[in-house]
Structure 1
Amino acid sequence: MSVALGPVMIDVASTTLDNSDRALLEHPSVGGVVLFARNLESPAQCRALCEAIRSQRPDILISVDHEGGRVQRLREGLTSLPPMCAFGHRYPEQPQQTLALVHECGWLMSQELAACGVDFSFAPVLDVDEKLSKVIGERSFSPVPAQVSTLAGALLDGFDEGGMASVGKHFPGHGGVEADSHLELPVDERSLAALEAHDLIPFTELASRLTAVMPSHVRYPAFDPNPTGFSAAWLDYLRNTLGFSGAILSDDLSMHGASFAGGPVERAQLALQAGCDAVLVCNDRDAARAVLDSVAPEDERAARLAALRRTQPLPSLDVLKALPRWQHAHDSLTALAAQYGY
């Protein structure tokens, strides 16, 4: 019998499950697991870990940050993907060839993660690079909003072909602040009109195509005093102005940018009340337990989260690597990544 997905995404301790992990996975409020570099040694080990997790909870979501460039948690045995800025740099002079390669990047990323047992990556990054944010920087496709939309759209085409859900981040745009929300709470003083004319363009143009959206831990006080992921006004704007109907996933509540809301339970409650469908509580086991005990599954949230689950059969990595298409995409992307030091 299928169990409704709970509204909390957690982490596990290591490369295999221990008894503490297993006990936590049994909690009915768990909806997903986020994998980190410490959990990952090789594609075969990753797939075995995912199978062990699903032996505890068959319907659970398994995710990873796998964007390319410096944000690629599993490297051994998989293609080294370039940072997304590499495509933005090529696009003005080679638009069609670049879009085709971005499509292949999305397809290859989807297929390689599937072979590892993972449902989805937290991608694409839709932030517009304002040359301010070091934590975004090369993760952004471009400083030109229309190019971010176009290039991210091609990546989504590849995700769609490969059967992988998408998570657009960090709504409504993290590129216009210098501070790193992992370490502090950034404040962007621009008006809604200014954001709509710039940072919000990729989210506006791609809202109907995204499976999920991750809001930023950034304050935009000209619109609402609360950071986006805790702002009913911002999440209402996302749903009712932009027409987004998918899942809303909080950024990790253990980040300092979330600390204004209080302790872990207060952070989770505020994010869920604002309109998030799931909250990420990672790298703090005591916080995860407290949050899990304070919330419960809800059918409407669970239905939106279920769309993130991969439904196609998981491919074999060996079979995938035997495909001429994989080899061509792998060679092209590896060469591009090498130009950026990856």
Structure 2
Amino acid sequence: MTPHAPVVLDIAGTTLSADDRRRLAHPLTGGLILFARNWSDRRQLVELTSEIKTVRPDVLICVDHEGGRVQRFRTDGFTHLPPMRALGELWHQDGTGGAGCGAMNATDAATAAGYVLGAELRACGVDFSFTPVLDLDHGESGVIGDRAFHRDPRVATLLAKSLMHGLLLAGMANCGKHFPGHGFVKADSHTEVPVDRRSLRAILNDDARPYEWLSTSLTSVMPAHVIYPKVDARPAGFSARWLKEILRQQLGFTGAIFSDDLSMEGARVIDGSLVSYTDAATVALNAGCDLVLLCNQSTGDGRAVDELLDGLDLALREGAWQTDPDSEVRRQALLPQAAPLTWDELMHHGVYQRALERLP
């Protein structure tokens, strides 16, 4: 087993270049995240994922594929999944069925969404999607918005758990994001460094409750690039206080922890200074992340990707961070454990057909 392969990188196009192959073969590479630019049609996606696995059989092929406005593949048969808010709205639609019928319909629809999402991706060779969003809909965050299930953490938790059940039926792991909660702040961490000035008690009693209630169900978590100054001066993804003390010890989470994208503006401001990708990755790993993402840096000459791989390699030799066999076990646990249905098999599969009927 690889001692620890923490880097999740991306590729520029719809096929692998020689540089892509070289980076995939690097011992520190553990995952690859796909984007819409890596897609032209289903046949191409299947060929690409097969080619990736030929180079690196144990790499985790990932994608941000939530539904609504965050769905990378939308054509050639892929179902247009609803935003998660649609499931939260369904929760309240009892109709003539009596009190609670809306909630029951919403949980079944969430399971259906998870199954369709996971089964379609897996039929094309994608292992894993960064979903569900556990952020609460406070009505202030444009970057979260309708990606959130609900304002009530109880409703969000049950709908997320139902969606995770659907993913599980499709043979796919899950990722709760963005710990401990990104929905309260207005700023977008892609372009700014959001600050949430609430107390730890207020956060744990509200936005972070889904992580407590799903501690035995979540297989991975992605922390927020948000600073919570009453808890720690560093963003959650770089904070041992948040990741080791609160998430792991206090809330009992045992799965894998991903950093959010290190190329985001909110990702590399640590202790008030803008740091390199290598330094950001090193801080994230030391804080408790098992894997670190660097997205959208393979285009052009891809120098940033090589600098991260080479920089982490050097930092490892210099003792700036240490490989963690437990992290590698957690990474490999995210890989599917059974072969998927092919696309043609899926189209004739009764569970899939019923799931499509249950989508809102």
Identity %: 47
Report Cα offsets for 1:249-291 as digits up to 9, x if no partner: 0000000001213011111111011010010012122222122
The answer to whether 1:264 aligns with 2:277 is yes
CA distance in 2, matches of 1:251, 1:282: 9
Q: Say which of 226, 229, 239 aligns to 2:248.
A: 239
Code of the aligned partner of 2:204? E
Give the match for residue 261 of structure 2: 252
Corresponding residue of 1:40? 39
Contact 1:188 1:220 in 2 (8 A): yes
Pick from 176, 198, 206 the counterpart of residue 206 of structure 2: 198
TM superposition shift of 1:40: 1.2
Structure-1 residue corresponding to 2:320: none
Moved beyond 6 Å, runs of 4+: none
Give the structure 1 partner of residue 191 of structure 2.
183
Q: Name the residue aligned to 1:304.
A: 330
Match of 1:166 among 170, 174, 188: 174
Cα shift at 1:332: 4.0
Does 1:100 pair with 2:108? Answer: yes
Q: Tell me which residue corresponds to 2:87.
A: 87
Counterpart amino acid of residue 118 in structure 2 = S
Q: Any conservation in 1 of the 2:108–2:358 contact (CA below 8 Å)? A: no
Q: CA RMSD in A?
A: 1.2
| One-letter amino acid of the structure 1 residue matched with residue 91 of structure 2 | Y
Q: Match of 1:251, as an amino acid?
A: D
Residues 59-103 of structure 1 show CA distances to partners (whole Å, capped at 9, x for unaligned) of 110000010000000111211100000000010231111111111
The superposition leaves residues 28-60 of structure 1 with CA deviations (integer Å, 9 ceiling, x where unpaired) of 100000000100122221111111011100111
Aligned partner of 1:141 in structure 2 is 149
The CA distance in 2 between the partners of 1:49 and 1:5, in whole Å, is 25
Q: Which of the numbers 322, 342, 345 marks the counterpart of 1:319?
A: 345
Among 291, 316, 319, the alignment partner of 2:308 is 291
Find the residue that maps to 1:251 and give its secondary structure: coil
**Hey, what does 1:73 align to over in structure 2?**
72
Deviations 1:103-135 (A, max 9, x none): 111112111111010111000000001001000
Name the CA distance, whole Å, in 1 between partners of 2:150 and 2:235: 24
Contact map agreement 2:137 2:148 (CA 8 A) in 1: yes
Q: CA deviation at 1:331?
A: 4.1
Count of residues in Structure 1 that have an aligned counterpart in Structure 2: 333
Normalising by structure 2, we get a TM-score of: 0.90
What amino acid is the match of 2:89?
Answer: H
Q: Which runs of 5+ in 1 are unaligned?
A: 337-342
Structure 2 stretches lacking a partner, 5+ long: 95-101, 314-322
Q: Indicate if the aligned counterparts of 1:7 and 1:31 stay in contact, CA closer than 8 A.
A: yes
Given that residues 2 and 328 in structure 2 are in contact (C-alpha distance below 8 angstroms), is that contact kept between their aligned partners in structure 1?
A: no
1:67, 1:190 → 2: CA distance? 28
Conserved in 1, the CA contact under 8 Å of 2:112 and 2:358? no
Instruction: Supply the distance in 2 between the matched residues of 1:318 and 1:14 (Cα, whole angstroms).
Output: 26
**What secondary structure does 1:304 align onto?**
helix
Residue 3 (structure 1) shift: 4.0
Q: Is the 8 A contact 2:8 2:294 kept in 1?
A: yes
In structure 1, the partner of 2:216 is 208
Partner of 1:340: none
State the TM-score, normalizing by the size of structure 1: 0.95
Mapped contact 2:259–2:293 kept (Cα < 8 A): yes
* Cα separation, 2, equivalents of 1:286 and 1:238: 34
Task: Give the secondary structure class of the aligned counterpart of 2:259.
Answer: strand
User: Which residue of structure 1 aligns with residue 56 of structure 2?
Assistant: 57
- Matches of 1:324 and 1:159 in 2, distance apart? 16
Residues 252 and 282 of structure 1 are in contact (CA less than 8 Å); yes or no, is this contact kept in structure 2? Answer: yes
Residue range with higher mean Cα deviation, 34-43 or 134-143: 34-43
Q: Distance in 1 between matches of 2:205 and 2:339?
A: 41
Distance 2:234 2:131 in 1: 24
Change over 3 Å in CA distance of 1:4–1:62 after alignment to 2: farther
Cα shift at 1:243: 0.4
What's the offset of the Cα at 1:294? Answer: 2.9
Alpha-carbon distance, 1:208 to partner: 1.5
Equivalent position of 2:293 in the other structure: 280
Is 2:173–2:219's contact at 8 Å kept on the other side of the alignment?
yes
* Structure 1 residue corresponding to 2:236, chosen from 228, 231, 234: 228
